[in-house]
Structure 1
Amino acid sequence: MTAAFAEPVMVFDIETIPDVDGGRRIHGLDDLDDAKVAKALSQLRLQKTGNEFLAHHLHRVVAISVVLATRDQLRVWSLGGPDSDEAELVRRFFEGIERYGPTLVTWNGGGFDLPVLHYRSLLHKVSAPRYWDTGDDDRSFRYNNYLSRFHWRHVDLMDVLAGFQMRANAPLDEIATLLGFPGKMGMNGAHVWDAWLGGDIQGIRNYCETDVLNTYLVFLRFEHLRGRLSDEGLAREEGRVANLLQASEATHLQAFHEAWLGHPPE
């Protein structure tokens, strides 16, 4: 195996909905139902910033999906189950970091996913000492930890590929599509709230899993770009993804395989 997998790699993505309970507490909206609270929060945000996208602390996590790559295995799944509450999802995420000490890989994780998880961890009293270590407990974390923007224990692909210049940021969907990967499938982030209101939590989890697959495939190209995967290594690792999809009975993973490689799994 190449140096790219000397330690586990954990690609993750979260899906969120408005934190209507938090919004009620902060803004005194007790007399409104969930849909009206969400609308009020969007309008308040629009008035304040000119954009309806809610502040990080008012996002409630409803799905966390992961690709875990090690020397011996490759898996894609969503943490917990469809009925898991937010506290369980967040706790399981940080337990994975405690257990594996992986390289985290995201697309805009530094700008969105991780700050959201920080606030939700505070809310649910989740302890994550390894994630927050900057060298006090493990000296190797002093110069390579999860929190520092220019370290490599967390690779925010959007940030890195843009040369840490916000004006050069690009959407995952467009980069994945540019590289020949499926891009967005099933829905996009703007549809998650409606899917949640309609009871389609499984659809949200499936969508999140296809997003992390896109991110992982882009990551493999990045590892090739920086010389950590040879041409043969890249082909081998992409082949591992194809084999994973071929072995799956999940319809959304089969659809991802077909959209990527042009034919359904045998």
Structure 2
Amino acid sequence: MTEEFRRRIRNLFFLDIETVASHPAYDQLDERMQQLWDKKADKLRKGDDQRTNAEMFYGQGAIYAEFGRVVCIGFGQLFWNERDELSFKVRSFANTDEATLLRDFKALIEKYPADQLILCAHNGKEFDFPYLCRRMLIHGIALPRAMQLAGKKPWEILHQDTLELWKFGDYKNYTSLDLLAAVFGIASSKDEMSGGQVTPVFYEENDLEKISRYCREDVVVLAQVYLGLHCQKAVADENIIRVE
């Protein structure tokens, strides 16, 4: 590992978010939002899809910042332990109060110099980063400097996206984090649950800790994939610190 790469990853902040539909049921949306979801559902519906708008909201509302909300944010950083071994520390914020969750996240990243902090997520430029920004603005929370992108030139934006790194300029295909983990020989984070189960686990099982565990493991996989994309060895499991 070169000194340049060591310097770069000291400023890397890996993150992943878990989102759910904004309400446990379509009929709990106010009339205006129901009408707007109906329009969205009509555009999303393909072929012989027989699902009702209510079923589509419960299944897909979490994907859209206007119809969903954040319930967990996982984050982690690489570091060297006392034996100079590459290590990784991961933890998560989870809260049923989204505004509090977002303020806690903002306070965390504002501890780091905005002109040096590199946020990294899988499909982060299409999902995680804009979703967080939109939900912050909906709650009237001013964006942290590291997430203020308006007016910046592409080379001034430090965010990194493992999906973009894997594409090498190819914009035709989406590759999941789980698939990248598989091709790099990294253990899956999907043993306990998958992303599509987050809404029912939240609303039906009321198990926010299960979602937090899943989110933390996604961040671990993200960091390992990032290392693989740079021809670096994965962090040994004994050097991964998971903060409950």
Structure 1 length-normalised TM: 0.69
Give 2:239's aligned residue.
244
After superposing the two structures, state which structure 1 stretch, 63-72 or 116-125, moved more.
63-72
CA gap of 1:3–1:18, structure 2 versus 1, over 3 A, is: same
Identify the residue that residue 256 of structure 1 maps to in structure 2.
none
The residue that corresponds to 2:53 in the other structure is: none
Structure 1 position 27 matched with structure 2 position 27:
no
Task: Give the aligned residue type for 1:105.
Answer: C
Deviation at 1:166, TM superposition (A): 3.0
**CA–CA distance in structure 1, aligned partners of residues 136 and 107 of structure 2:** 12
Report the CA distance shift for 1:46/1:74 in structure 2 as closer, same or farther (over 3 A).
same
1:58 aligns with 2:83: no
Cα pair 2:70 2:98 within 8 Å, conserved: yes
Distance 1:248 1:75 in 2: 6
Measured after TM superposition, the shift of residue 158 of structure 1 is 0.5
Indicate how the Cα distance of structure 1 residues 172 and 26 shifts in structure 2: closer, same or farther if over 3 A, else same. farther
Distance 1:84 1:220, change over 3 A: same
Measure the CA separation in 1 of the matches of 2:149 and 2:65. 23
Q: 2:179 aligns with which of 174, 189, 198?
A: 174
Cα distance change, pair 65–45 in 1 and its aligned pair in 2 (3 A): same
**Percent identity between the two aligned chains:** 23
Alpha-carbon distance in structure 2 between the residues aligned to 1:5 and 1:100: 17
Q: What corresponds to 1:222 in structure 2?
A: 229
Residues 1:75 and 2:89 are matched in the alignment: yes
Q: How does 1:1-266 map to 2 (within 5 A)?
A: 2-6=3-7, 7-20=10-23, 24-25=29-30, 27=32, 41=37, 45-50=40-45, 52=56, 53-54=60-61, 55-70=64-79, 74-79=88-93, 81=94, 83=95, 85-101=97-113, 102-133=117-148, 144-146=155-157, 153-183=158-188, 184-197=190-203, 198-224=205-231, 234-235=232-233, 238-239=235-236, 242-245=237-240
Give the structure 2 partner of residue 259 of structure 1: none
Aligned in 2, Cα 1:2/1:243: closer, same or farther, shift over 3 Å?
farther
**Structure 1 unmatched runs, 5+:** 30-39, 147-152, 225-233, 251-266
> 2: distance between equivalents of 1:123 and 1:187?
29
What code does the residue aligned with 1:171 have? S
Give distance in 1, aligned partners of 2:210 and 2:121: 21
Higher relative contact order (CA 8 A, sep 6+): 2
Note closer, same or farther for the CA distance 1:134–1:208 as it changes in structure 2 (3 Å cut): closer
Q: Are the counterparts in 1 of residues 19 and 69 from structure 2 also a CA contact under 8 Å?
A: yes
Higher helix share: 1
Partner residue in 2 for 1:257: none
User: Structure 1 stretch 206-215 or stretch 156-165: which is displaced more?
Assistant: 156-165
What is the one-letter code of the residue matched to 2:200?
Answer: D
Contact 2:65 2:135 survives alignment (8 Å)? no
The number of residues matched between the two structures is 215
Query: What residue is the counterpart of 1:258 in the other structure?
Result: none
Match of 1:262 in 2: none
Q: Distance in 1 between matches of 2:144 and 2:194?
A: 33
CA contact (8 A) 1:59 1:116 kept: no
User: Partners in 2 of 1:243 and 1:134 — Cα distance?
Assistant: 37
Give the secondary-structure state (helix, strand or coil) at the position aligned to 1:115: helix
Relative distance call for 1:57 and 1:2 in structure 2 (3 A) is farther
Kindly state the Cα deviation for residue 196 of structure 1 after the two structures are TM-superposed: 0.5
Structure 2: which amino acid aligns with 1:89? Answer: L
Q: CA-atom RMSD, angstroms?
A: 3.2
Partners of 2:243 and 2:130 in 1: how far apart?
Answer: 34
- Looking at structure 1, the residues matched to 243 and 44 of structure 2 have their Cα atoms a distance apart, in angstroms, of 44
